Structures are given as C-alpha cells and as structure tokens.
Amino acid sequence: MTVVRPADAEAIEEAAARLAAGELVVFPTETVYGLGADAANRDAVAAVYRIKQRPPGHPLIVHVLDDGPAKAWAEWSQRAQRLAEAFWPGPLTLILKRAADAPAWACGAESTIGLRAPAHPVARALLHAFVRRGGVGIAAPSANRFGRISPTRAEHVVEDLGDDAPLILDGGPCEVGVESTIVDLSRGRPVLLRPGGVSVAQLAAVLGEEVLERDAHAPRASGTLDAHYAPATPVEVVDADEVPARVAQWRSQGRSVALWSRSVPPSIADVGLAMSHDARSTAHELYDTLRRLDRSGCDRIVIERVPRTPEWRAVGDRLRRAAAATDK
C-alpha cells in the first residue's frame, strides 16, 4: 500500500534512510515530483526504470546539493561553474561529460550526465539527510509512467503509479510546474536541449555567449523526445482563431471536447477551462490542468496555442510534445 506522508523532519529522515538502504522514495522539487534512488546504486536505479516503464536508453537527472558533489560526477568546466553560481539551486540541469570513475547507472549508456541542484526546501533537506548517510546524489526522473503527464502534486503520483509508488513525501504543489531547463555543456558550445524555468536569454547573459539550439549530435537527455507529457485523451493544439471551428467540427461528429483557452469562451466546449494570460501561472497549473481535462471523460482535448514568445517557450514546448503523442 502506498504511503503518503507530510514532508516533516521525521518523514525526510525516514526517506533518506530508505534511499541509503537502496529503496526508492518520491519527493517534491520546485519543478515536478521526482522518483528518487541512490544514483550510485545500480539496483536502485534499475528499479526506477522498471517502475516508470522507462526505456533503458533514456538518461535520468542526478540531483545534488551544489557544485561540490557535482564535481564528483562530472568533468566540471568554467561554463558549468558560472551557471551553477547563477542558477543553483534552481530549475537548471547541466549536461556534462561524466567523470571517469562516476557510476553510470543513471546515464542511459551516454558518456554524459545530467546534474541539477533543486531549490525546493524538502528536496534540499532530503539531500542533506542523504549526504549525512554517505550519499552523493539522487537520480530522479518525474514520478509518473514514462511519456505521461508529469506530477506536480502528491496525489498525481498516486494516480499514476498506484501501488508501485514508494514512500511519497507530500510537499504540496510544485512552484514552477514544468521541468528544468537542460543545457548541454559537454561539447564546444552551450546548446539548449529543453526549455524550462531558466530562459535562453538568462543563460546567454551569464555565459557571455550565444546558446545554440539542439542539433542532431546532441546527447540524449530527459524529456526531449518529440512525444512526451501526454494525457491518455488525444490532444491537439490550435491557433486561437481556429479554436471555435475545431471545437464545432468535433462536436458535429458526435465527439465531446474539453477546451483550455486564453481567448475563446470555455462555454463553447463540453468542458472548458480558462487559461491564464500569465506564462508563469500557466506553467504552474499546466500538468494539473492537463490531468483535469484528461479526467473529464471527453473524447478530445483542444488547447489554444500559446504565444511564441520567450516567456511562453517552456509551456509551448510541453504542449507541442503532448500533442505529438496523439499524432504518433
């Protein structure tokens, strides 16, 4: 039976002890809830892949307290140091060459490793408690089945993983609501692999150089498949001026429609929710809203396309990938 505990000091100590013993735990970060394991424990990391039903070639992100333990995992660089000083703890994952003697269990057969120092107080308290027990990093993808909607509340984890869920530390809703920005520093120039809470402009300002777009030779990283973050209900993303006609088309075919829109009245659909005009607020509520629409019982989810501006990039990315799962 799944155990959900308020993330108080006693529960955090229990979770750290479980991690040190090779067990898994679920914990909140500022982005999404993570399914955590000792990154240096082969069997524990394998259990993460098994519970998530994650293909073995998809790397995980290793969570650390700061740049100190990060240097034990990777070939640290001046670029990494600048970004860590500017954005850690926070929603930024750095892809670096894995150190020669670092465990590779979380790396999905890549020669690189993804590292992040989370900002959520529960995640940081858990890392401190784990370090006191000899741990150096927690491998933690989102705590949901592979390819599905990421969890931003403890109850989302229970919905997805059911009895497969280990101890869950309930820290309330995640503040950011979308996964971390991922930047590749393993090659000659910095490359954005996934947009998130830290913008390209912020990265470029700290580095003093352009951050390039993903290319064909980029290493594999978490959450970068074309189809991801998907509800079970088919999703499509359409421009605002096309929303009324698209909803009417599906309803004329006897299909019920759930709508999430900024500029079109929600009442035109069978189930309708209003989207915030603020990008941060929309990111915060994104996955919870997708789950609500998925539970509505409608045949189709229609979502108004968000603005193609930098502040909306992370939300637009997640919606595009959710819709791509429908197209497959």
pLDDT reported for residue 201: 97
Q: Residue ranges per domain, the chain?
A: 4-213, 235-327
Phi-psi region of 254 (alpha: psi -120 to 50; beta: other; left: phi over 0): left
pLDDT of residue 327: 59
CATH fold for the domain made of 235-327? Rossmann fold (3.40.50)
pLDDT tens-digit map of 135-145? 999 999 999 99
How many angstroms separate the CA atoms of 257 and 245, rounded?
12
End-to-end CA, the chain: 35
Q: Quick one: CA dihedral 274, 278, 279, 284, positive or negative?
A: negative
- Residue 267: strand, helix, or coil: helix
Whether the Cβ atoms of residue 142 and residue 79 lie closer than 8 Å to each other: no
Question: For the chain, what is the radius of gyration of the CA atoms?
Answer: 20
d(CA 224, CA 175): 22
Q: Give the residue among 224, 181, 184, 180 at the shortest CA–CA distance from 95.
A: 184
Q: What is the pLDDT along the chain (328 residues), one digit of tens a residue?
A: 789 999 999 999 999 999 999 999 999 999 999 999 999 999 999 999 999 999 998 999 999 999 999 999 999 999 999 999 999 999 999 999 999 999 999 999 899 999 999 999 999 999 999 999 999 999 999 999 999 999 999 999 999 999 999 999 999 999 999 999 999 999 989 999 999 999 999 999 999 999 999 998 899 888 787 888 899 999 999 999 999 999 999 999 999 999 999 999 999 999 999 999 999 999 999 999 999 999 999 999 999 999 999 999 999 999 999 999 875 5
Q: Are 19 and 79 in contact (CB under 8 A)?
A: no
Spatial distance between the Cα atoms of 30 and 290, rounded to a whole number of angstroms: 19
Nearest alpha carbon to residue 60 among 72, 44, 79 = 44
Write down the architecture of domain 4-213 according to CATH.
Alpha-Beta Complex (3.90)
Q: What pTM was computed for the model?
A: 0.96
Q: Identify whether the C-beta of residue 107 lies closer than 8 Å to the C-beta of residue 98.
A: yes
Q: CA-CA distance, 192 to 195, in Å (whole number)?
A: 7
* The pLDDT value given to residue 227: 80
In terms of residues, how long is the chain?
A: 328
